[in-house]
Amino acid sequence: MIGNIAIVLFDGFAFGMLLFVLSVGLSVTLGLMNFINLAHGAFGMIGGYVTVLAMRQFGVPFLLTLPAAFLIAALVSVFFERTLFRRLYRAGELNQVLFTIGLVFVATAVATYFFGTGQQPIVLPSWLRGSVEIAGLRLGVYRIFLIAIALVIVALVYFGLEQTRMGAQIRASVDNQRVAQGLGLDVERIFAVTFALGSGLAGLGGALAIEIVGLDPSFGFHFLVYVLIVVAVGGLGSVAGSFVGAALLGIGDVAGKYFVPEIGSFLIYLLLVGILLVRPLGLFGKR
Amino acid sequence: MVKRITAALALGLAMGWATTATAQETLKIGVILPYSGPFADAANQLQAGIDLYIAEHGGEVAGRKIELIKKDTGGPAADAAQRAAQELVVRDQVDILAGFALTPEALGAAPVATEANVPMVVMNAATSIVTERSPNIVRTSVTIPQLNYAFGKWAAEEAGVKQAYTLVADYGPGHDAEASFAKGFTEAGGEILGSDRTPVANPDFSAYVQRVRDANPEAVYIFVPGGAQPAAIGKALVDRGLAPPDVKILAQGELTHPEALESMGETARGVITTFHYTLERDDPLNKAYVDGYMAANNGRKPDLFSIGGYDGMHLIYEALKATNGDSSAEAFVEAAKGMAWDSPRGPVMIDPETRDIVQTVYIREVQEVDGELQNVIIHSIPEVKDPLHGAN
């Protein structure tokens, strides 16, 4: 029984970490820039297709495609940020929602045009497949890999925001745009960089997600609900919040389905409602 | 004044006459499918099957030119399908309704087919009840009980499985699969250790698979819709050591369709599935069909949807030949009843009583052939009917 609980915790945590990588970027852009970007999942989809293309067409090893997924998703997002998104920074929330959800439809259509409607399978290197036995527990290798990557990202983002000059500039621009601008910070550039980093992380998440949940043109919609729950539970703009929120959601989802399969898939929504009732701003939300 | 009105009326009549005359020549087929949304891939594959048949057999049959009018439902929406069917019948004046990838679509359109008295060819929707909803429905795909009742029996009788755990997607077809497999299996002396249902859009199967492992069954039976889930559940099973030869994995054929096989790789070896169409079945007709399909679709392989569309068009063509181009529901359905032909999937027949398809059920095992994993047929059960028709 103890072994079962440990397995469920592990599986849930790994799934949570996938959600974390997918959603942390949205939490950052939403919290720091007050921009509601529902097209976040579409950037995840770009990352996924980059990995599929690189592996299929050019035979690039899986690990090397991950930075490419990050970079290309980030670059594409900068292009759109400069041409489209920035016009809506000051627009009302409804406009932002309508615009970005429209963008997801466009992304779905574009992906269908180029790649067709089918699933895009990838074949992982053999060392990432199968499972290993640790202390009598059978753990999936890819899930261990997911957890490791997520932890590295947490460390990098946390360190980056708290300890670097760029991080300080981002925090300053968010706290008070006008003053930051007055002090000579190029706020527009800082927002563009933040946006690119957030979308890049989504791209990385999309690439990592293929093995667990697959990839097709509806990816952008598929994960929107999960990603929004993570952000809402964790609190806007908080990296630690996204981490805890994603872990809770992943574990809650898997544990719920394991112990009470009849209502298992509903349990995470209950969890969401419960948490938001007690803490309307999310676990780590500040405003 | 009166003269003028008469002239206008005459002109109008003449024009009306002219359009009826051309309508006599072209045969309009209204195709209702989920071209967009989460089931867009199914719709595309089915449409490709239709297109291939028309390309191979010409766009004209019994002196009538075939014209397709496509309507999108966006997914399993009965109301959207009903609206589409009404528009097709009233505005476009189609002669035949066809398509229907999903059961709700077929159920939504069925009353329209009855009321407007047009034939309706169901090319996929696989729930048993579909053909009972209108006397004008003919089905050219498959029913879930047809596949799984026979499969359950086979598992207990021939494969010697004594106990199994079932894990199915929590929606109509999943419930059908669970019930019919269990029925066949227990009637033949097998025992169901437990059964779980997974949400239809389930991204992660680890919890359910762990429950199966806890029960430690001899075999696990799985039904999930196509798309991303087959590969996901397959990998989750193997990650937990639930894999042949220790545990038998039994499933309906979606689990090992080509994309899922590619994604699962080695882990799929030994999985046993039941299906009505097998891509690799060694048969000249099938080979020509697969080659033609791949050539027309950028190397994409045909699947269960494609064959449903292909055979659906065959039925339409042959029925029209038999009726000399008469597409009224009475003549068409009468011609379709009892019609038998050699399809790329094997010999098929339309049951004259239920208007449903009678066909061979194949039981396949994933094996390596020439360095590639394939579904290899290990057993065939000929002339299987849907076991539920007439039962209720």
Say what the pLDDT of residue A133 is. Answer: 80
| Residue at B281 is within a domain | no
Residues B150, B133 share a domain = no
Contacts of B211 in chain A (CB under 8 A): 258, 261
- Exposure of B380 by Cβ count < 10 A (0-12 exposed, 13-18 middle, 19+ buried)? middle
Q: Tens digit of pLDDT for each residue in B70-120?
A: 999 988 889 999 999 999 999 999 999 999 999 999 999 999 999 999 999
Q: Tens digit of pLDDT for each residue in B323-334?
A: 999 999 999 999
Q: Taking residues A272-282, what's their average pLDDT?
A: 89
Say what the pLDDT of residue B20 is. Answer: 45
Residues B271, B134 share a domain = no
Residues B351, B294 share a domain = yes
Type and span of the H or E element at B229: helix B229-239
Question: Which structural domain, as residue segments, surrounds residue A106?
Answer: 25-218
3-state SS of chain A is CHHHHHHHHHHHHHHHHHHHHHHHHHHHHHHHHCCCCCCHHHHHHHHHHHHHHHHHHHCCCHHHHHHHHHHHHHHHHHHHHHHCHHHHCCCCHHHHHHHHHHHHHHHHHHHHHHHCCCCCCCCCCHHHCCEEEECCEEEEHHHHHHHHHHHHHHHHHHHHHHHCHHHHHHHHHHHCHHHHHHCCCCHHHHHHHHHHHHHHHHHHHHHHHHHHHCCCCCHHHHCHHHHHHHHHHHCCCCHHHHHHHHHHHHHHHHHHHHHCCCCHHHHHHHHHHHHHHHCCCCCCCCC
| Residue at B197 is within a domain | yes
Contacts of B229 in chain A (CB under 8 A): 214
Interface contact flag, A118 B40, Cβ < 8 Å: no
Residues B265, B377 share a domain = yes
Residues B229, B372 share a domain = yes
The rounded distance, in Å, linking the Cα atoms of B279 and B282 is: 9
CA-nearest residue to A211 within chain B is B232
Task: Look up the ipTM and state it.
Answer: 0.76
Say what the pLDDT of residue B5 is. Answer: 58
Structurally, how many domains does chain A consist of? 1
Say what the pLDDT of residue B332 is. Answer: 95
Q: Tens digit of pLDDT for each residue in A255-274?
A: 888 888 888 778 888 889 99
DSSP class of B255: G
- On average, the pLDDT of chain B sits at 89
Residues B46, B12 share a domain = yes
Structurally, how many domains does chain B consist of? 2
Contact B151, B361 (CB under 8 A): yes
For residue B11, pLDDT over 60 is answered with: no
- CB pairs < 8 Å spanning A and B: 106
| Residue at A180 is within a domain | yes
∠ Cα A254 A221 B144 (to 5°): 70
The answer to whether A218 faces chain B, any CB pair under 8 Å, is: yes
Q: Taking residues B271-279, what's their average pLDDT?
A: 93
Tokens of A60: 């690039």
Say what the pLDDT of residue B6 is. Answer: 57
Q: Tens digit of pLDDT for each residue in A87-102?
A: 888 888 899 999 999 9
For A182, A235, B339, the CA distances from A42, given in Å and listed in that order, are: 35, 22, 48
The answer to whether B204 faces chain A, any CB pair under 8 Å, is: yes
The rounded distance, in Å, linking the Cα atoms of A73 and A202 is: 8
For residue B22, pLDDT over 70 is answered with: no
Which of A121, A222, A265 is the closest to B263 by Cβ? A121
The rounded distance, in Å, linking the Cα atoms of B50 and B53 is: 5
What is the three-class DSSP state of B187? Answer: helix
Contacts of A143 in chain B (CB under 8 A): 239
The rounded distance, in Å, linking the Cα atoms of B298 and B293 is: 9
Residues B149, B136 share a domain = no
The answer to whether A34 faces chain B, any CB pair under 8 Å, is: no
| Residue at B118 is within a domain | yes
Say what the pLDDT of residue A7 is. Answer: 85
Residues A251-282 as b or e (16 or more Cβ within 10 Å = b): bbbbbbbbeebeebbebbeebbeebbeeeeeb
Residues within 8 A of B (CB atoms), A 180-199 only:
none
Q: Taking residues B173-183, what's their average pLDDT?
A: 92
Contact B130, B122 (CB under 8 A): yes
Nearest partner of A32 among A242, A237, A287, judged by Cα = A237
The answer to which of A144-148, A196-200, B20-24, B384-388 has the lowest mean pLDDT is B20-24
For residue B218, pLDDT over 90 is answered with: yes
Q: Tens digit of pLDDT for each residue in B39-76?
A: 888 899 999 999 999 999 999 998 899 999 999 998 88
Residues within 8 A of A (CB atoms), B 299-338 only:
300
Type and span of the H or E element at B349: strand B346-350
Task: Write the Ramachandran bin of B298: left for phi over 0, alpha for psi from -120 to 50, otherwise beta.
Answer: left
Looking up residue B159, the CATH number of its domain turns out to be: 3.40.50.2300
Q: Taking residues A197-204, what's their average pLDDT?
A: 93
Confidence (pTM): 0.80
What percentage of residues in chain B have a pLDDT greater than 70? 93
Say what the pLDDT of residue B227 is. Answer: 74
Interface contact flag, B38 A15, Cβ < 8 Å: no
For residue B19, pLDDT over 80 is answered with: no
The rounded distance, in Å, linking the Cα atoms of A178 and A197 is: 23
Q: Taking residues B255-283, what's their average pLDDT?
A: 87
Contact B262, B234 (CB under 8 A): no
| Residue at B25 is within a domain | yes
Say what the pLDDT of residue B12 is. Answer: 52
Residues B344, B332 share a domain = yes
Contact B304, B124 (CB under 8 A): yes
Higher per-residue confidence, B230 vs B273: B273
Residues B372, B227 share a domain = yes
The rounded distance, in Å, linking the Cα atoms of B287 and A229 is: 49
Which of B204, B262, B300 is the closest to A254 by Cβ? B204
For residue B13, pLDDT over 70 is answered with: no
> Could you tell me the end-to-end alpha-carbon distance of chain A, in angstroms, rounded to an integer?
42
The answer to which of A26-35, A96-105, A238-247, B129-138 has the lowest mean pLDDT is A26-35
Say what the pLDDT of residue B23 is. Answer: 46
Residues B202, B128 share a domain = no
- Alpha helices in B158-227, H assignment, sequence order: 172-187, 206-215
Nearest partner of A214 among B221, B242, B202, B305, judged by Cα = B202
Interface contact flag, A254 B238, Cβ < 8 Å: no
| Residue at A224 is within a domain | no
Q: Taking residues B210-215, what's their average pLDDT?
A: 89
- On average, the pLDDT of chain A sits at 88
CB atoms within 10 A of CB B367: 15
Interface contact flag, B228 A118, Cβ < 8 Å: no
The answer to whether A284 faces chain B, any CB pair under 8 Å, is: no
| Residue at B12 is within a domain | yes
Say what the pLDDT of residue B275 is. Answer: 94
Say what the pLDDT of residue B14 is. Answer: 52
Residues B112, B216 share a domain = no
Maximum C-alpha span of chain A: 61
CB atoms within 10 A of CB B336: 23
| Residue at A250 is within a domain | no
| Residue at A248 is within a domain | no
Question: Which structural domain, as residue segments, surrounds residue B263?
Answer: 145-275+361-384
- Dihedral of CA A205/A207/A208/A210: which sign? positive
> Could you tell me how far CA B201 lies from the centroid of its own chain?
20
Say what the pLDDT of residue A226 is. Answer: 86
Residues B95, B202 share a domain = no
